[in-house]
Chains A and B, each alone.
Chain A
Amino acid sequence: MGNILNQILANTTRHPKQNYQARTADDQFRLSSILFCRATLEHTRCVYNKGVSDSHFELWSVLVSRALSGQARRIYKEATNDYFRLLSLLVCRAISECIRRKLIVYEKGVAIDRFQLWRILICRTMSYFIRHKTIYEKRIADAQFQLLTLSICKAISDYLCCRPICKNEISVDWFVNLPEDVLRTILSKLPLDEVIRTGVLSSKWRCLWTVCPKLCFDGITMFGKNMHNKKIKHSTQKFIDNVNTVLQQCHGRVVEELGVKFEFDTMLVDHLNSWIRFAVSSHAKFLAFDLKPSGLEALSCPQYIFPFQLLDNSSISRLQHIQLCFVSVKPPAQFSGFPNLAKLCLSRVHVSSKDLHHMLSSCCNLEWLSIGQCYQLGGELKVDSPLSHLLYLNIAFSELTRIEFHAVELRTFVYEGPPVPIHLNKSTGLENADIHFIGVTIEDAVSALNSVLINVQNLTMKVHVRPRKLPCVLENSHSFSQLKNLQLKLLFHYDIDSLSLVKFLGATPFIEKLEMHFTSLFGFFYVERKTIRRFEHEQKYLKDVSITGFKASIGQVELLVHIVENTPALDVLTIDQSDIFRKEDAGQEEADDNMDERYGVIRAYIEGKVSPECFVRLI
């Protein structure tokens, strides 16, 4: 230890100022540093509290002051002075803090803030001594003092590093010594590039990251930082090389998830297959391939054919989650489904309805199914065999004429597309539905959903409403007795169809919360009208109503009046004039001059009909 200190001190003597040389050769100085280090080691965590009264530190402070007093002779006598106590205290504090935080200060320590502070404090106190004035600012610029403190820090931290701090101290390698499954859990929560970066931390970490169970390669994050436009096709080869390098390093490991997201390029085909082979050999449970190209190519027929032939029986039964986008799926004739598949997401997948039926029928453990933009699917999607674990079903834009599932545990159904008959008769537990119909009247929408909505409690319905040709019949043939929360997003051509809405509300006698968002293609117009139609149907439980896009058109006023006149339990009524659809599209709605006039109209109609307890908000 002494040698190291000597070396460091010897280095500092290269400094031009000669005075310092004299001191560096001073045995007392060396001795003091040695004693200080020793004392620090022995007292580790207790340094702070005990340090001041400890005899070792007193000795140290005496020796340091002696050494420094080469120039100012008076100082030694003042060794017991408070200033030195303060100095020792501060230094002990700084060091014990570092020890407590287990900072390895060897390389970096001298540059980090805490040690700077320490240096400043030392300089300050020393300068107090030697000149008895506050020449702190001047001293700080003095290279000698900087060097002095620097070498003290370096020497001490050197010593601390070379010897174990304390027998009971936890080795700094505890991260590395964590059980492997814990390490895998932690790494799986980080993005892949950060996982790989841990390889450079130290030699023990070099191969640690390869236990990461989640290998997801995303072209955009891999190259996105260097790319300004989305055209990354010419970096396909680079992507392939990067993925292959990583997979090679993870060879032999058990991987849980393999994901690839890159715009399709014919160059990828062979490599995608070899990556699937890797997934099979590393026992992957989750496979995600997203090959969607940007632009119009996304509408073309996918060229990558999912290689069922590469899957052996054990991998077929191992797969729990499959996500495919822009892939062609043609299972072989004898393929009998994925027995343990829990989650299946197909988007822009080229598959025939017969193959899809067959596959879905044999995936008896399916819990989550999502089919979207599978344009050439066509025909019926009728899955007869019971999918008794299915909880979530999402179907969007797949040119289907009819949907039928036998799923007794289904909780959530999401649909987007033209209104088609949907039969989920066995799904008596269906609580949540999110439906987006395009080009239909409200009555037809409700009819299509008749069997679906029987037991639904929370319904979100977005409809691009087609103008009605025939007059609407007010009597209801439906009753949605479980519906409690209703959210409607309605896009009309002209004015809202208040009659249909009133009829719909009539079919939901137990509704508690109603949220309606209106917009019109050709705009809502306020027209003053003395008499309006009135309907009567009590909504006994309706407590919370909110309407947006309210422009006081005739239909809207009729609806509003119907609501306020027929809701005895109304607690909260919110009427917002802004059109949220336009806000979503354009970001900002155009300035509206008639807002105040409309407020007046609204108030006029509400007055006297709303109970005093009801909280009315006009935005």
Chain B
Amino acid sequence: MAATTADGSKVVGGGEKSNVDEESKMITLFSSDGERFEVTQEAAAMSQTIHHMMEDGCVDDEGVHLPNVGSSILAMVIEYCNRHVASPDEKEDIRSFDAGFVNVEHHTLFDIIRAANYLDVKELMDLCCQTVADSIKSKSVEEIRELFGIVNDFTPEEEAEIRKENQWAFE
């Protein structure tokens, strides 16, 4: 859920903003294009990068700038973190959430992977890498080419040579 506050910043995530108690202490994140996101510290701590910054005291009142992550992708990562800290025990629900979460186009998935790698969110990385691996698994070479838009720039002789090198893998 995202709501736009008076100053135009987006508030994404659970917890009420009005009462600042220990549990729902908020932290501000800035995406590469300057958009503001408010998240609970708990959700932000899912990112080891931010977690270490918080521990080392590098996070001031202004918030954390993330020059490598665009706003749309950051919103998605925050959505993931919020969902996973909210109810980590409901395995079935989380599984179906994850399945829906990764049901995006490939270039979006790769952006998420890059963001998760930069932010060091291990579970998200694992989930996305597994999704990519699953999309490759059991596909023929042609199908993989079509999937990722890869142009075959081998001559037939070169291709035959590669196939022969590790013939057992191509059988």
Contact = CB atoms under 8 A, between A and B. Distances in A.
Interface size class of B (residues with CB under 8 A): 35 or more
A178 B114 CA distance: 8
B153 interface: yes
A261 to B, nearest CB: 14
Contact of B162 (A170, A200, A225): A200
B110 to A, nearest CB: 5
A35 B126 CA distance: 47
A262 to B, nearest CB: 13
Contacts of B129: 182, 185-186, 189
A190 B149 contact: no
A229 interface: no
A461 to B, nearest CB: 27
Contacts of A198: 136, 144
Contacts of B39: none
Q: Which DSSP category, helix, strand, loop or mixed, fits chain A's interface? A: helix
B151 interface: yes
A148 to B, nearest CB: 25
Contacts of B154: 200, 202-203
A108 B133 contact: no
Nearest to A225: B171
Interface size class of A (residues with CB under 8 A): 35 or more
B113 A178 contact: yes
A206 B166 CA distance: 12
Nearest to A223: B168
B146 A181 contact: no
Among B137, B159, B166, B169, residue most surrounded by chain A Cβ atoms (within 10 Å): B169
B169 A108 contact: no
B125 interface: yes
B133 A205 contact: no
B136 A102 contact: no
Contacts of A161: 151
A190 B114 contact: no
B171 A194 contact: no
A222 B168 contact: yes
Interface of B: 107, 110, 113-114, 117, 125-126, 129-130, 132-134, 136-138, 141-142, 144-146, 148-154, 159, 162-163, 165-166, 168-171
23 contacts: A104-B146, A104-B149, A172-B148, A175-B110, A175-B150, A178-B110, A182-B114, A185-B126, A185-B129, A186-B133, A187-B133, A190-B137, A192-B169, A193-B168, A199-B166, A200-B141, A201-B145, A202-B150, A202-B154, A223-B168, A225-B171, A242-B168, A245-B165
Given A196-B166, A203-B153, 6 more contacts: A186-B132, A190-B137, A192-B169, A197-B141, A200-B163, A202-B145
